[in-house]
Amino acid sequence: MKEYLNKLILADDVRNILTNSQKVIFPKTREELIELAFGNSGSDTYEVSYHVKDKGNVVEANVVRCKNGVAVNYVEDYMRRRDPDSLVIGDNQDTDKPRYKDIYQKDFEPLRKDTFDWLQNQELIALPFKAGGYQYGYDALLITPANAAFFACALADLQGFLSIDEISDNFNPKAIVYLAPPFRHTHFDGKQIVVHNRLEGVHEVFSYNLYPGPSAKKGIYGVLLNIGERENWLTAHASTVKVITPYDNEIVIMHEGASGGGKSEMIEPAHRAADGRIILGENLETGEKYYLDLNESCELRPVTDDMALCHPSMQNNSNKLVVQDAENGWFLRLDHIQNYGTSPQYEKIFTQPKEPLLFLNIQAVPKATCLVWEHTLDSDGNPCPNPRAILPRRLVPDIVMDPVEVDVRSFGVRTPPCTRENPSYGILGMLHILPPALAWLWRLVAPRGYNNPSIVSEAGMISEGVGSYWPFATGKMVKQANLLLNQIVNSSSTRYVLIPNQHIGVYKVSFNPQWVAREYIARRGSAKFKPEHLKEARCTLLGYGLASLKVDGQYIRRAFLQPERQQEVGTDGYDKGAKILLDFFNKEASKFNTEDLDPLGKQIIECLLRDAPLQEYIDLIPMRF
């Protein structure tokens, strides 16, 4: 082990953990990690448990070996999805996030020491990896109890496995993740807590729970955002896809939005009915359905699923944003796959993968095939709303590995039904074209939206925070607002659209608006929109709608483009929904109107607060039609 430790540049207290541990395993292959997930026993089941003071042995998760991979199921419903309030700051650097010492009225350092003491009394896995990808990423390290090897496998698939034999000498981690699951019981009343401790030269992430969402996934996102905040760049919360039409036109769309906003869906083929048609929408009051016949869909070449690295070394002179995936694997939510045939492309990969995959919250029987539409049942008897699979990018068909220039940045919003009797912010049409200034406002406010299945949250419209990645950030929100604004100003040839999902007025539409919009934008052959084809939206925040939309020779009903045309909504229901939206934006955007905000940002927010006409937003940042 000494020769391996000599490769790592570590502070003395961190090195002592590995030096004093009962046993340290440096996995050399992914296959070894999978075997470790079963205690290296050859068994097909494994129970991940810990001794907790005053509680005895506490079982956290059950691990099952299936034909197609490893299935992990947590004992508690609460542990099956990410708690949005899990992030806590342990250091004294600038932050707008809750500090450990303010919440618990004591310094984090004693708990840090207790965590180190507990770790060095465990058998450990030490796993080097790259935070942000192999090409532009940063040296990082995971230290975890060996009995939580499935967690190490999850992180390795998400961030990129590195064998200790492969890393160069002087491997200098800029981030270290420490996993200590029993501390959630002894110190945090059973809650998911991830403490970020930003030291000079290294960003420590203390994961006090076994669900990888807040740490192995979003914790590393926080690391990248912290590095970018210091170096003046950011990692966008976005999926990205290269779309190739039947006529070989190519366009790149980057889709942003809060969790549940349609990022993964943007890189999926459209879901179809049994007869091959797309169910465009269903009227919730009459039950009437509207269909779209799309005989030949565009080809999709996925680029990113959730985290788009916008590293300065990738940017060029095209005046377009350039991105690359910041992850090595995708943490895919599968709640929409409720029966066989819903998503054939992914179902084939998950059911007969080229190598074992890791599944979370999926029912499993030892040595049987784990089926992704059989979701684990919560204690109330309902399927868990957050079933997941980790899909390494190398297994994704037609994946794009290189950086790409972004033609269109779309933003997705989960919208509720809207009628005149029950008005809501579900007034978005199928596709809106935004001036850059409004595009920045939507990313500033980032509505989480309606009925989000991914996280523990209340219903209703709340802000996900700046960039929609704010829940994972550790620094200052105004700094991130400035970075987003500068990025938009410097990418003058990238255009912006807004797309709802779930509902348009009284119509239930699922994710069909973004699938139809994707086909429409790509088939146009460019991201340009002629002014005569645009119609200024009745609500200024929505920029321009479309006067008409034709896909594959078929016109989309105007009721889907302009919800005020729906008789169940009308202009009165629409205007009440618009007021809900405007009031929400005013409240959330006002938080950024401080002396640290870029002067241009101040002007944009002032336009919002006085309900300025659309042209004033365009005057602030010119819009290329």
Global model pTM greater than 0.85: yes
Query: CA–CA separation, 9 vs 283, rounded Å?
Result: 61
Three-state DSSP state, 606: helix
| pLDDT(467) > 50 | yes
Query: CA–CA separation, 519 vs 517, rounded Å?
Result: 5
Q: State the SS3 of 274-302.
A: CCCCEEEEEECCCCCEEEECCCCCCEEEE
Q: Of 191, 216, 231, which residue constitutes the final position of a domain?
A: 231
| pLDDT(457) > 90 | no
In 420-541, which residue ranges form alpha helices assigned H by DSSP? 436-445, 477-490, 512-523
324 and 406 in contact (C-beta within 8 Å)?
no
Q: Of 200, 231, 262, which residue constitutes the final position of a domain?
A: 231
Same domain, 252 and 279: yes
Query: CA–CA separation, 455 vs 85, rounded Å?
Result: 10
Query: CA–CA separation, 132 vs 529, rounded Å?
Result: 34
What's the alpha-carbon Rg for the chain, to the nearest Å?
24
> In this predicted structure, what is the pLDDT of residue 63?
98
> In this predicted structure, what is the pLDDT of residue 41?
87
Is there a domain that residue 92 lies in?
Answer: yes
Query: CA–CA separation, 502 vs 504, rounded Å?
Result: 7
- The parent domain of residue 192 ranges over 2-30+81-231
Same domain, 164 and 89: yes
Is there a domain that residue 616 lies in?
Answer: yes
Is there a domain that residue 251 lies in?
Answer: yes
> In this predicted structure, what is the pLDDT of residue 562?
97
**DSSP for 410-430, written as a single string:** EEEEE-----SSS--S----S
- pLDDT tens-place string over residues 565-591: 999 999 999 999 999 999 999 999 999
Q: Residue 285's pLDDT band (boundaries 50, 70, 90)? A: very high
Same domain, 197 and 243: no
The mean pLDDT value for 469-496 works out to 96
The mean pLDDT value for 38-53 works out to 94
Q: Of 214, 231, 248, which residue constitutes the final position of a domain?
A: 231
- The gap from C-alpha 471 to its chain's centroid, in whole angstroms, comes to 10
Residue 30: C-alpha distances to residues 43, 353, 391, 609 (Å): 18, 15, 14, 54
**288 phi and psi angles, rounded to 5 deg:** -70, 135
**619 phi and psi angles, rounded to 5 deg:** -65, -30
Same domain, 261 and 226: no
Query: CA–CA separation, 327 vs 347, rounded Å?
Result: 21
520 and 432 in contact (C-beta within 8 Å)?
no
Is there a domain that residue 368 lies in?
Answer: no
Q: State the SS3 of 331-400.
A: EEECCCCCCCCCCHHHHHHHHCCCCCEEEECECCCCCCCCCCCCECECCCCCECCCCEEEEEHHHCCCCC
| pLDDT(506) > 80 | yes
Same domain, 491 and 460: yes
Query: CA–CA separation, 115 vs 54, rounded Å?
Result: 18
Query: What number of residues does the chain have?
Result: 625
Q: Which of 117, 144, 158, 112 shows the shortest CA–CA distance to 210?
A: 144
Is there a domain that residue 70 lies in?
Answer: no
413 and 498 in contact (C-beta within 8 Å)?
yes
CATH assignment of the domain containing 299: 3.90.228.20
Average pLDDT, the chain: 94
- pLDDT tens-place string over residues 187-220: 999 999 999 999 999 999 999 999 999 999 999 9
Query: CA–CA separation, 356 vs 502, rounded Å?
Result: 33
- The gap from C-alpha 120 to its chain's centroid, in whole angstroms, comes to 33
In 249-393, which residue ranges form alpha helices assigned H by DSSP? 263-266, 344-351
| pLDDT(276) > 80 | yes
**364 phi and psi angles, rounded to 5 deg:** -145, 140
Residue 570: C-alpha distances to residues 225, 423, 432, 555, 561 (Å): 43, 10, 19, 21, 13
Same domain, 128 and 243: no
Same domain, 437 and 575: yes
Output the CA angle 74-77-83, nearest 5 degrees.
Answer: 100
The mean pLDDT value for 229-245 works out to 96
Query: CA–CA separation, 283 vs 430, rounded Å?
Result: 15
Is there a domain that residue 393 lies in?
Answer: no
- pLDDT tens-place string over residues 120-157: 999 999 999 999 988 899 999 999 999 999 999 999 99
Is there a domain that residue 309 lies in?
Answer: yes
- pLDDT tens-place string over residues 159-189: 988 999 988 889 999 999 999 999 999 999 9
24 and 119 in contact (C-beta within 8 Å)?
no
Is there a domain that residue 401 lies in?
Answer: no
Query: CA–CA separation, 341 vs 308, rounded Å?
Result: 29
Of residues 459 and 237, more confidence is placed in: 237
Query: CA–CA separation, 431 vs 498, rounded Å?
Result: 6
The mean pLDDT value for 77-91 works out to 94
Same domain, 134 and 279: no
Q: How many CA atoms lie within 13 A of 367 on its CB side?
A: 3
The mean pLDDT value for 471-500 works out to 96
The mean pLDDT value for 399-417 works out to 96
The mean pLDDT value for 451-469 works out to 71
Other Cβ atoms less than 10 A from the Cβ of 386: the count is: 23
- pLDDT tens-place string over residues 424-455: 999 999 999 999 999 999 999 999 877 655 54
| pLDDT(267) > 80 | yes
Same domain, 163 and 245: no
Task: State both tokens at 43.
Answer: 């068994």
Task: State both tokens at 454.
Answer: 């991914």
**DSSP for 548-572, written as a single string:** --EETTEEPPHHHH-GGGSTTTHHH
595 and 612 in contact (C-beta within 8 Å)?
no
> In this predicted structure, what is the pLDDT of residue 452?
59
> In this predicted structure, what is the pLDDT of residue 527?
59
499 and 532 in contact (C-beta within 8 Å)?
no
Same domain, 487 and 579: yes
Same domain, 265 and 299: yes
> In this predicted structure, what is the pLDDT of residue 460?
63
Same domain, 227 and 246: no
The mean pLDDT value for 109-117 works out to 98
**DSSP for 3-30, written as a single string:** HHHTTB---HHHHHHHHHSSEEE---SH
**DSSP for 66-100, written as a single string:** ETTEEEEEESSGGGGSB-TT-EEE-S-SS-SSPBH
Of residues 259 and 127, more confidence is placed in: 127
- Please state the domain count of the chain: 2
